[in-house]
């Protein structure tokens, strides 16, 4: 069913039918009703491609999912972020276009979106400290929103981020309040912006209490379960082992827990643990009392906010283009007072 067929059926011109369906005022209420009814009855919906060509708007947003070439790893938060963004898109009539590329080819993917003109905007994930995509995209002229920030960026850009510094500062302070002095940090890769900020928060808390940071307690790497386990085993084998561990991801925390329990130690009693929790839908942190004490922030909500921000930008609304979400610190069973050595 095309517009022309529908208009022939109604004895109207395509112009009028189009206007009726798109809510233009130059059409009487009576015919608008008739048109709407007929469209519904015959299951007519405008062909996206034709409409996009005529309006110059693709009504689609592009997400580039980079895959670490080395580790073939997909960031586990994409699914939930995407779900949040997707809600907003469909509510606003936008499609979501995903492009899965090896992280070497990422720039090419953006360029291709731009020249092929099949999206109206982009969401950028996982920015590094000095992310080259930002100047690149500023040149490209396609609107975009970054999920996260890039500390060293010089030009302005739109972003939605969590206050990673504050979150880790508060978590560290809680551990210090509980009497912990040797606190290990299992962080993400430190060229990533979020990881650098988390470390800054951790160090700030230590500094404010006059505790010297011990570089041998600080790690950064891929946030996998195995990594969490292995690092924990190494850490706890030391004579001067830490009494608390601060972890950048729930998945890694699970590995930490495994390491702790393999040694016959009890989480929350022998070793305290606070983790960052992205509130992933398939990995809720306990049912009633959280298993892990955690700084929590919904990545799904971040997806919703970023999507809305991007749509606003595309539509020329001058709403704020920077949004800092606070993480909440929820007490679970993985923290307790430091035990006297």
- d(C-alpha 50, C-alpha 214), whole Å: 62
Candidates 102, 155, 115, 116; CA nearest to 132 is 155
Q: How far is CA 89 from CA 33, 123, 168, in A?
A: 27, 12, 32
Chain CA centroid to CA 257, Å: 25
**The entry of DNA, a second copy, none that residue 287 binds, CB within 5 to 8 Å by partner kind:** a second copy
Residues in contact with DNA, shown as a per-residue x/- string from 48 to 87 under the rule CB under 7 A: --xx-xxxx-------------------------------
**The entry of a second copy, DNA, none that residue 4 binds, CB within 5 to 8 Å by partner kind:** DNA
**The entry of DNA, a second copy, none that residue 26 binds, CB within 5 to 8 Å by partner kind:** DNA
Q: Does 314 engage in binding with DNA (CB under 7 A)?
A: no
- d(C-alpha 328, C-alpha 211), whole Å: 24
What does residue 266 show for φ and ψ, rounded to 5 degrees? -110, 130
| Contact residues for a second copy, defined by CB under 8 A | 1, 43-50, 52-53, 58, 60, 65, 67, 71-76, 78-80, 82-83, 85-87, 89-90, 95-101, 111-112, 115-118, 223-226, 230, 251, 254, 257-258, 261, 280-284, 286-287, 291
Q: Name the token pair of 272.
A: 């305290």
User: Which of 8, 22, 74, 289 forms a contact with DNA (CB under 7 A)?
Assistant: 22
Q: What is the dihedral of CA 256, 259, 260, 265, to 10 degrees?
A: 170
| Terminal Cα-to-Cα distance of the chain (whole angstroms) | 78
* CB nearer to DNA: pick between 15 and 68: 15
- d(C-alpha 218, C-alpha 172), whole Å: 13
**The entry of DNA, a second copy, none that residue 21 binds, CB within 5 to 8 Å by partner kind:** DNA
Q: Does 28 engage in binding with DNA (CB under 7 A)?
A: yes
Q: How far is the CB of 52 from DNA (least distance, A)?
A: 8
Q: Does 233 engage in binding with DNA (CB under 7 A)?
A: no
**The entry of a second copy, DNA, none that residue 98 binds, CB within 5 to 8 Å by partner kind:** a second copy
3-class state of residue 276 by DSSP:
strand
Output helix, strand, coil percentages for the chain, rounded to the nearest 5.
45, 20, 40
* CB nearer to DNA: pick between 117 and 209: 117
* CB nearer to DNA: pick between 31 and 163: 31
Binding site for DNA (CB under 7 A): 1-4, 11-16, 18-19, 21-22, 26-28, 30-31, 44, 46-47, 50-51, 53-56
């Amino acid at each position: 069913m095309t517009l022309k067929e529908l208009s022939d059926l109604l004895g109207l011109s395509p112009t009028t039918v189009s206007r009726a369906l798109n809510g233009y005022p130059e059409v009487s209420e009576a015919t608008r009703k008739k048109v709407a009814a007929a469209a519904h009855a015959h299951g007519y919906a405008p062909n996206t491609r034709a409409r996009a060509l005529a309006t110059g708007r693709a009504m689609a947003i592009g997400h580039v999912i980079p895959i670490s070439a080395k580790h073939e790893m997909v960031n586990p938060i994409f699914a939930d972020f995407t779900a949040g963004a997707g809600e907003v898109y469909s509510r606003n009539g936008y499609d979501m276009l995903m492009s899965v590329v090896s992280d070497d080819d990422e720039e090419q993917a953006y360029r291709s979106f731009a020249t092929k003109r099949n999206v109206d905007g982009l969401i950028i994930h996982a920015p590094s400290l000095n992310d080259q995509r930002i100047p690149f995209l500023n040149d490209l002229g396609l609107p975009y929103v970054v999920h996260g920030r890039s500390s060293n960026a010089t030009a302005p850009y739109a972003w939605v981020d969590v206050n990673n510094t504050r979150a880790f500062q508060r978590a560290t302070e809680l551990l210090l309040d509980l009497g912990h002095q040797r606190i290990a940090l299992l962080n993400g890769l430190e060229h990533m912006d979020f990881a650098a900020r988390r470390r800054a928060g951790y160090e700030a808390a230590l500094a404010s209490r006059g505790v010297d940071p011990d570089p041998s307690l600080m790690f950064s790497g891929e946030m996998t379960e195995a990594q969490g386990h292995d690092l924990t085993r190494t850490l706890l084998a030391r004579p001067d082992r830490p009494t608390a561990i601060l972890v950048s991801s729930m998945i890694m925390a699970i590995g930490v827990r495994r390491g702790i329990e393999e040694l016959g130690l009890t989480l929350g009693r022998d070793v305290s643990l606070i983790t960052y929790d992205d509130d992933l839908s398939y990995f809720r942190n306990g049912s009633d009392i959280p298993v892990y004490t955690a700084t929590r922030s919904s990545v799904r909500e971040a997806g919703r906010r970023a999507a809305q921000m991007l749509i606003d930008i595309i539509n020329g609304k001058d709403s704020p283009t920077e949004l800092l979400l606070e993480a909440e610190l929820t007490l679970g069973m993985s923290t307790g007072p430091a035990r006297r050595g």
